[in-house]
Structure 1
Amino acid sequence: MFIDSHCHLDFPEFQSRLPEVLANMQEAKVSHALCVSVDLPDFPNVLKLANKHPNLFASVGVHPDYEDTPEPTLEFLVETAAKHSKIVAIGETGLDYYRMGDRSHDSMEWQRERFRTHIRAAIASKKPLIIHTRSASQDTIRILQEEGAQTIGGVMHCFTESYAVAKAAMDMGFFISFSGIVTFKSAKELQETCKQVPLDRMLIETDSPYLAPIPYRGKTNEPAWVANVGQFIAVLKGVPIEELAIQTSRNFYQCFQIDRKST
């Protein structure tokens, strides 16, 4: 059985077809999925999904790309994570300089401060981090190191960086998660990185509704298709698909500190 370690089932794309999406998961042998928070106004919907469905988990946090949104405080993140048993992580958080445009590096300090707040909340609540990094890997690794993120670990989600960045993250106890991007024909460098990441440090995800893997590219992604990501990586790494499914599922439970017997 596969596990989708990162999706957004609370997004509008799924509102009218959630029963179908969950049924598709079951048919594709995707046992669980982690619904990831991106802002505070929509967080209640994420939590509601996790509480309603036994095979769904939730996180709490604010995405670095959401600038005009309520800012999370350390107290809120820690208290919320402690209050709800289905919340297994803090995030997604991190840095995203991709849309910085003509703005200076200094102008993104708000992102870096938000990132630090999430790391401190993760350490205080003993919940792992879900890290988003885009065009900002150097600052991302630096801040993780400065804040002592190695004491809690987590996952570098939807990974698209070099193996050097992956190695720096793994040295701090982080897992590396690959999405449908790794299946794209244009993703040769990422595929080489994927080959180098040990299977026992790897997660798989959809980031749905985005980034549908081949052969569904361009369509609305969904958790069932994490099986396609897993199948591609198994071939890429030359391992049986059953081994990849078992190991990445085991990694999921380890990363998010979930008692497998309770799920």
Structure 2
Amino acid sequence: MSRSPSASTPRLSLIDVPKSCDILASMLREQILDGTIPDGSMLPAERELVEQTGLSRGSVREGLRILEAEGFIKTRSGRYGGSMATRPTGAMVSEQINVFARISGIPLTSIVEARVALEPMLARLAAVNRTDEDLAQLEAISKRIVAASNDVPTYLQENVNWHCALAQASHNELLHTFTVSIAQLIREATSIKNMAPLEIRMIVIQAHDKILQAIADKDPEAAERRMLRHVQAYAEHVKQLMKKSSATTGKSKKSA
């Protein structure tokens, strides 16, 4: 006679066991990051990895595909092919964040909010940490922005270059990487009709001059304050344009 489980018998939850390909990818990733596998060195061939790990060839291949997608290895085919370890660069991370924003459909308002949160601190750090070379680069880009004030596409690109140069002048690599990642998103957004009319372009140039002066003077409080005023004004401009766009779209749908 079988014994029925009592009400007090504990119930076990499902156990989530990692896939073998994920475990392999994690092991190799950590070894690339800590330098055990030097940047630029070749990983063992698939057959060797199968022998060393006891995994199936399919699991090994999938683990390598994961690392390649993450930018930790580069794989080439052919007689002298194989997988080479590569440490992700700031540019690669920026591109991944950019792609994430596109795939996720993050709205322009969220991107602008991130800018408002980020750039005042970048301006403060730039005022503290900037070098003469950083300052010279910002001044050179400012001159190009003025020269391109009537050439909207060039103006917009130089404006993005200015903000990326300011992030570089902060000498905070993490913040710089994030700024670069959203810079192109902002560039594409500002190409929308009426996003950067001549009046706005002139206001931006004046704001940049004031921020740049504070950075040149190594005045972090003024740099942060002026940048906050600048990005908040831009955020309000975007907000108003989005409202007008929504209203116009709504009218068009009613007319249809």
- TM-score, structure 2 length as denominator? 0.23
Would you tell me which structure has more helix in proportion to its own residues? 2
- TM-score, structure 1 length as denominator? 0.23
Would you tell me which structure has more strand in proportion to its own residues? 1
Higher-Rg structure is 2
